[in-house]
Amino acid sequence: MATYELLVCDLRTDRLLDRIPARDVSYDNYIGKTGTLSATIDLSNSDIARRVRTSVLPGRTMLYLERWDAFAGTIVWGGILWTRTPSRDARGVWTCAIQAAGLESVLRSHRMLTDTLTSTNVDQLDIARTLVAYAQSAPGGNLGIEIDYSQTSGVLRDRVYSRYDLPWIGGLIDQLAAVQGGFEWIIQCYRSDDGARHRALRLGYPRLSVGSGDLVLSGPGPITTYSLPEDATRQANAWQSRGATVNSNLAAESTPLMSAPLTTPADIAAGWPRLDGTSDYSTVISQDVLDQHARADLDAARRPSLIPSVAYTSGGIDQPQLGSYTRIRIDDVWYYDGLRARYRVVGLKVSPEERGRSESTELYLEAT
């Protein structure tokens, strides 16, 4: 049976403050979305209550979740504590519920760009790294995120980020990654072989991909539930994007920048009805950049990237990394002719073992 422990550290220095057991733990990680953690700490006596009250501080505490099996401990999640809720029930039992989010949450909703930054003919991964380095350069802004400058994509971009827009830095990275020929990014927390803890920016072009072997899951077998949705409600085969309103002539009518109209004649010829779609980029002032967004949005909307999920009993099965691959084999009523498919893991949610409940993992998948 695996057990879990919270490592409580100072956010800015990573100094270990305490180790605290927790129950009702649930955590998730995603590519393109901030992961979360929730747990309950039992305040069984005044000593543990004092420790939690003084060291588990919302907004300045870094939490690592460590999973222990029979041999060693592994850091499986890391992020910043945002809320704690001490409470007492009618029987006088004290607990403290906590909620935390990955370090991406700081960049996506707590760090703004307050200077104008211009990049001309710069590799897109360097622009992303510059934005993270900018976030860490302000007094008190260093989150200890390690940045590897060796990787390149070969895709050069021109970008002007204005301080007057007051954009969230994480949002700028997301927007840069979402154009045609973009990339993926996460902040990974882990422990190296020498025992040191790390918070590392990981960039993947065109996608994050790790691991040399595939995790194989079968149903009947470890797979307990699955969902493989098909949905055309957001499908589109014609597209136009709208950018910022740019007008230097105050006497003229103000109109927004518009991308060139995009269509997919092959879909119409194949029998699909015309399905229109649109998107807004209110800070984009470059025609070329807006056109890149429009092409990427149309590519995504032609065949919406639905996220299948598979849940399985994970006791004895290694937890996959984001960007790794799994092979799914299902034989049942729906897949009466058998499903044999390979997917990339783009998200996972883990519910650790509790009394009367086995550890389970739900994988969110992307078709390869």
User: Count of residues for the chain?
Assistant: 368
Look-up of token digits 């010829």 = 269
107-204 CATH pick, 3.55.50, 3.10.20, 3.40.1710, 2.40.160:
3.55.50
Q: Kind of pairing, strands 339-351 and 325-330?
A: antiparallel
With CA atoms as reference, report the closest residue to 101 among 83, 84, 80, 85. 80
Low-confidence spans in the chain with pLDDT less than 50: none
Q: Kind of pairing, strands 197-204 and 145-146?
A: parallel
Question: What pLDDT was estimated at residue 314?
Answer: 77
Which tokens belong to 331? 């034989």
CB-count exposure of residue 52 (10 Å: 0-12, 13-18, 19+): buried
* pLDDT tens, position by position, 103-136: 999 999 999 999 999 999 999 999 999 999 999 9
Domain at 3-102: CATH code? 2.30.300.10
Question: What pLDDT was estimated at residue 44?
Answer: 94
Strand, helix or coil for residue 165: helix
Contact 4, 68 (CB under 8 A): yes
Question: What pLDDT was estimated at residue 202?
Answer: 97
Contact 281, 242 (CB under 8 A): yes
Question: What pLDDT was estimated at residue 316?
Answer: 66
What whole-number distance in Å separates Cα of residue 281 and Cα of residue 356?
Answer: 49
Class of domain 215-230+306-367: mainly beta
Question: What pLDDT was estimated at residue 309?
Answer: 94
Q: Phi, psi at residue 53, to the nearest 5°?
A: -65, -35
Question: What pLDDT was estimated at residue 250?
Answer: 62
Contact 59, 45 (CB under 8 A): no
Question: What pLDDT was estimated at residue 356?
Answer: 67
Question: What pLDDT was estimated at residue 2?
Answer: 72
What whole-number distance in Å separates Cα of residue 236 and Cα of residue 234?
Answer: 7
Question: What pLDDT was estimated at residue 357?
Answer: 72
